[in-house]
Chain A
Amino acid sequence: MVATSEKEILIVDDEEVMREFLSEVLEDFQVETASDGNEAISKMKSKSYDLIITDMKMPGVSGEEVVQFAKKTCPDSKIIVISGYSSLFSVGNTTRFGISAFLSKPFTIKQIRSEVEKSLKSSDSETDENEARNAG
């Protein structure tokens, strides 16, 4: 609630309830929202976010494209995917898609907070991790 307030988060979901809820839960961060993929991509073009939380299934440009765009334009951004499809990602293959976490709806406040904190913390120590990976 205190220190990480400068971190910027983009929430992408076509469900208004979800956007509002996430904004309130993450009120300690700089939160912006987008109601579909197009809006998200245009926002990402003008600004680099620390974390992008995106739904997968959206009309028009899907979450998958948002993820690909984010990884291409700002590889430093962390990505959390939330979806009503529980089978979309299993915990094991999140890294393969290059995302930090996958949360299937409905999730608890605890789950989203811990995933957000974990993602942002790992971005701080990313350099260390990369070095460790190279050594390995």
Chain B
Amino acid sequence: MSLLKKLQNSSLREKFVLVVSLVIVSSMLIISGYLIKRQNEIYHQELENRGQALVANLAYNAEFGVILESEADLNDLLKGVARVDDIVYAIVSAEDGRILAKIGIDEIERLNDYQDKAEIHDAPDKYTQRHFYDSDGIEYIEISYPVQTRRQQVSRENLGTVFGIQDDSYGLDTETIGTVRLALTTANLAEEITRSQTAAIILTIMVVFSAIIIMTAFVRIITQPIKTLVEVTDQISKGDLSKSVNISRRDEIGLLAESFNRMIESLKESQQEIEEYNRTLEAKIIERTRELEEAQTQLIQSEKLAGIGQLAAGVAHELNNPLGGILGYAQFTLEKMQKKDLNELAEKDYQSFKKYLRDIENQTRRCKAIVQNLLRFSRSSNKVEFTDTNINQVLEETLTFVEHQLVMNQIGLNKELDSSIPQIQGNPGQLQQVFTNMIINGLHASPAGTQMTITSKYLPPLGEFPGAIEIDFSDQGVGISEDNMKKIFEPFFTTKEVGKGTGLGLSVSYGIIKDHGGEIKVKSKVGVGTTFSIIIPLEKKAAPVDKAEIEK
């Protein structure tokens, strides 16, 4: 398992070399094993054949030596045989087992002990073949052959004329008179086999080594470009598309490198396209954002204009009243002055002139205050500056414009303004816009004869709460349905007739109060009335949090 793992983790070259080496070694083992076995068999066979030929020859030539029981003749015969390789010993014995001659006496004695375990092997006719091993594990082959003679035909004249051909007609007449035993050693064979094995091992090692060298070189030729590919891929994965693979070959790796380079090229192109697209997209977004901002500014401006429009009637009325006084008194004064001689002005006339002029002055001041108030309302367009603001004062100023509308619609007004509230950081113009919106909304929702209550109160600091001003606008109007409640702060949502409202009032108000760090809460019950509560904290929070979040 761990070996397999090791193999998996090794490099391509190592795997290659290992597999090829294994293949070479195993095939060499099989081949050389087979060859050695074959060599062994052939040698064995050859040795046996040689031994059989020799022993047959010996037996034939020993015929007369045995008959005569001539040890000298037999010894001469055996000495001639002893020169032959692989012969260990040779024994000629008579029919009754007496040994007539022998050579290799030492060996006969030495090997005598091992003869007990000898195995009898198949052998051709007349041969007896026994195999045994000495303590060194060397195999010995002992082949016996009978010494025979022809009884009837034995005569001094006939000797030497009979040759080894024995047909059946003779076989019946032959008589066994002794035995020749010849032992052969396979020591030389073992030596030969050891040499062959050594040669095979050396050859295998050489082949494996040269294979490893060739493999290494070959694998390097293959893996070198793959390494280059890996390096370039690595750089590409890090975003560097400047490199390309420099392999000019005609083989599969060359093709791979070529298509790899093509891939890098198309990657570069798509990256450029994406960058280009990103650039234009960014520009487009900036452009759209600018357009949206413009549209938004216009919308907010038009909401303000709509608000001003709603106020215009009230403003006109508000101005016309003092103007009526001014015009009247100015004309009245002029008229009186034209009728009378200025030198004869009675004290009474003088006093009434003074009163008229004072009235004119007062009414003019009133006009001025109204105009200033209106200006403040409309001026707060682009640059929003926060100053110390008295909420009650802003409420009163707002009411100068809209109070008459309440009166006209016969809606009673209750003011419950807490005179002890502290000043806040705010923009009076914007706040006036919000308050106007609240009052006009309530007014539009209220039937005649109902009451509107405007309350300001101070919520003192508590713990982390920095303290706040709460302004409530409560009406006894129709109320807001649950469905509409979710939408009232959405831009362009309106329940008023087309052309009567921009649908922006509350959303703009919401934005303004948000800019003041505050919030608008609504409580409403259909048929009972609605209360809008504006809560502005004394400490303005780090202002437009929303914008910062969007930018992130």
Query: Does B320 contact A106, Cβ atoms closer than 8 Å?
Result: yes
**Residues in chain A near residue B410, CB distance under 8 A:** 62
In contact, B316 and A84 (Cβ under 8 angstroms): yes
Cα of A70 to Cα of B222 in the assembled complex, Å: 117
Which candidate, A18-26, A43-51, A92-100, A119-127, is the interface stretch facing chain B? A18-26
Measured between C-beta atoms, what is the minimum distance from B312 to chain A in Å?
10
9 more CB-based (< 8 A) A-B contacts, given A86-B320, A110-B331: A17-B321, A24-B352, A25-B328, A84-B324, A86-B316, A105-B320, A105-B321, A107-B324, A108-B331
Report the minimal beta-carbon distance from A116 to chain B, rounded to whole angstroms.
13
Interface residues of B in 343-365 (CB under 8 A from A): 352, 359, 362-363
Residues of B within 8 A of A86 (CB): 316, 320
The reply to whether the CB of B332 lies closer than 8 angstroms to some CB of chain A is yes
Would B321 and A21 count as touching, CB distance under 8 A? Answer: no
Question: Of A17, A58, A87, A108, which is within 8 A of B325 by CB?
Answer: A17
Report the bound CA distance from A87 to B313 in whole Å.
9
A70-103 interface with B by 8 A CB criterion: 82-87
Q: How far is the CA of A120 from the CA of B122 in the complex (A)?
A: 173
Q: Are B324 and A106 in contact (CB under 8 A)?
A: yes
A19-43, CB under 8 A of B: which get 1 and which 0?
A: 0111011000000000000000000
Query: Whole-angstrom distance between the alpha carbons of A107 and B323 in the complex?
Result: 9
Nearest chain-A residue to B404 (Cβ)?
Answer: A57
- B548 close to A (CB within 8 Å): no
Chain A residues contacting B254 (CB-CB under 8 Å) are none
Residue-wise interface mask of A (53-69) relative to B, using a CB-CB cutoff of 8 A (1 in contact, 0 not): 00001110010000000
Q: Which 8 A-B pairs rank lowest in CB-CB distance, beginning with the nearest?
A: A84-B317, A84-B320, A105-B324, A17-B325, A106-B324, A106-B327, A105-B320, A106-B323
- Please state if B332 and A21 are interface contacts (CB–CB under 8 Å): yes
- Which residues of B in the span 467-491 have a Cβ within 8 Å of any Cβ on A? none
Total interface residues in chain A, CB < 8 Å: 26
Partner of B332, one of A58, A82, A109: A109
Sample of 20 A–B contacts (CB below 8 Å): A17-B324, A17-B325, A17-B363, A18-B321, A18-B328, A20-B359, A21-B324, A57-B404, A57-B407, A58-B407, A59-B407, A62-B408, A84-B318, A87-B313, A104-B320, A105-B323, A106-B324, A107-B327, A107-B328, A110-B331
Render B504-531 as a binary contact track against A, CB cut-off 8 A, 1 for contact.
0000000000000000000000000000
**Chain B residues in 8 Å Cβ range of A107:** 324, 327-328
The smallest C-beta distance from B516 to any residue of chain A, in angstroms, reads 32
Report A61 CB to chain B, min CB distance, Å: 9
Tell me whether A15 is interfacial, beta carbon within 8 Å: yes
- The reply to whether A25 and B324 contact each other, CB–CB distance below 8 Å, is no
Residue picked from A15, A86, A105, most chain B C-beta under 10 Å: A105
- Write the residues of chain A forming the contact surface with B, with a CB cutoff of 8 angstroms: 15, 17-18, 20-22, 24-25, 57-59, 62, 82-87, 104-110, 112
In the assembly, what is the distance between CA of A25 and CA of B408, in Å? 28
Question: Which of A15, A22, A109, A110 is most buried by chain B, counting CB atoms within 10 A of its CB?
Answer: A109
Which of B322, B335, B362 interacts with A109 by CB under 8 Å?
Answer: B335
Tell me, rounded to whole Å, the shortest Cβ–Cβ distance linking B184 to chain A: 150
User: Beyond A58-B407, A59-B407, A62-B410, is A109–B328 a contact (Cβ under 8 Å)?
Assistant: yes
Chain B residues in 8 Å Cβ range of A109: 328, 331-332, 335
Residues of B299-333 at the interface with A, using a CB-CB cut-off of 8 Å, are: 313, 316-329, 331-332
Question: Across the interface, do B407 and A21 meet the contact criterion of CB distance under 8 Å?
Answer: no
Assess whether B363 is in contact with A108, with CB atoms less than 8 Å apart. no
Of the candidates A17, A85, A112, the one whose C-beta lies within 8 Å of that of B359 is: A17
Complexed CA–CA distance, A112 and B410 (Å):
28
B323 / chain A contacts, CB cutoff of 8 Å:
105-106
A57 / chain B contacts, CB cutoff of 8 Å = 317, 404, 407-408
CA distance A90 to B408 in the complex (A): 18
Closest to A55 in B: B321
Most buried by A among B313, B326, B328: B328
B72-91 residues at the A interface, CB under 8 angstroms: none
